[in-house]
Amino acid sequence: MESERDIKYISRQVSSHNLDNISRTRAYQNFFLEFPEIKWAFVASMVSRNAGWNMTDLFLSPFRKLLSHKERKQLFMTYERANWLIFSDAYPQLLIYKLSKELNKPMFHLLPAFHVSRFMVKEWFIFWEDQDEHRLMTALIINEQNVIHQPVIKQSYFKYQIFLRFPYLLQDRLFMNAVLIPAFQDKLYGIYIHGFTNLTRRITVGKQIASVLFNPLVYEGVKQFAVETEHTGSRRDYERLLYRHFEKGPLLRTVYPVINHQDNIRKDWCRKGGIHHKWWAQDDCKPDAEVANSFYKRRKILYTYYHLREWLK
């Protein structure tokens, strides 16, 4: 009976925080501030911020003119579906860890009730015993990317309507997509996202993002930014710190409704695909402000192309 009550409570908490990109980002960050040993939660909060910025970018003038309404809606749904799916899998794990801390005993036997992979059930028990924060963070990165691989990346709708279409292929070829990591004092770091459909590549990028975030030269500034900057889903959250003029993207909740997702029957990804040894490899990445500079140079080219097209009309 007690387990049933815990499962129902956690389910309600997951549903209430999985409404949209704003609520997910806030939930990840608040959890990390309470349990800083779970480093993945901070990584997830910063990646989730970037997902929100990518969503509202679709309302900037070049994207409105160069992409059809249908294409922009499909791109939004790709970000939203992946965002929602990861949270629905990961947040119950975080709450069960919180419950375990409160009861001072591991409660990870509850994880299968939320269709969490047996891989992560094992990893949480390992973490409870040895407190290896880096291993757990890596395990969660491996898990999250496998969780979305079949339902999003390989799912026929997203595969043929997004990942094999010209807008995505062009953006990928020109390195137009990056995870940007803002810190105070006019600092902006970044890592390019390239080859997103490749599972191992996504896992590698996740580990690289983590290595930048927790670099001693970066961490305090990024944490200060996160704590002091309410996530709105608009890049103005950090662009206001850069002392340059940018077209202001809209606040996410002013342009997107809450999406009701179908929660399909989940299959344990590790039963079919197994665990690749290379996923555990160390993938450190030095903080690089040049990625952010390059990102905005490419943005400038996009705006130039957009204005030229408008002028030629």
Q: Identify the pLDDT of residue 2.
A: 63
Q: Identify the pLDDT of residue 294.
A: 83
Q: Identify the pLDDT of residue 174.
A: 45
Q: Give the pair of three-digit tokens for residue 74.
A: 């499909």
Q: Identify the pLDDT of residue 312.
A: 65
pLDDT values of the chain reduced to their tens digit, one per residue, 313 residues: 568 899 999 999 999 999 999 999 999 999 999 999 999 999 999 999 999 999 999 999 988 888 889 888 988 998 999 999 999 999 999 999 999 999 999 999 999 999 999 999 999 999 999 999 999 999 999 999 999 988 888 776 666 566 556 455 555 444 457 899 999 877 899 998 877 888 999 999 999 999 999 999 999 999 999 999 999 999 999 999 887 888 999 999 999 999 999 877 678 999 887 899 999 999 888 887 778 888 888 888 778 777 776 666 6
Q: Identify the pLDDT of residue 161.
A: 63
Q: Give the pair of three-digit tokens for residue 185.
A: 């004092």
Q: Identify the pLDDT of residue 293.
A: 81
Secondary structure of the chain in HEC code, one letter for each residue: CHHHHHHHHHHHHHHHHCCCHHHHHHHHHHHHHHCCCCHHHHHHHHHHHHHHHHHHHCCCHHHHHHCCHHHHHHHHHHHHHHHHHHHHHHHHHHHHHHHHHHHCCCCHHHHHHHCCCHHHHHHHHHHHHHCCHHHHHHHHHHHHHHHHHHHHHCCHHHHHHHHCCHHHHHHHHCCCCEEEEEECCCEEEEEECCCCCCHHHHHHHHHHHHHHHCCCCCHHHHHHHHHHCCCCCCCHHHHCCCCCCCCCCCCHHHHCCCCCCCCCCCCCHHHHHCCCHHHHCCCCCCCCHHHHHHHHHHHHHHHHHHHHHHHHC
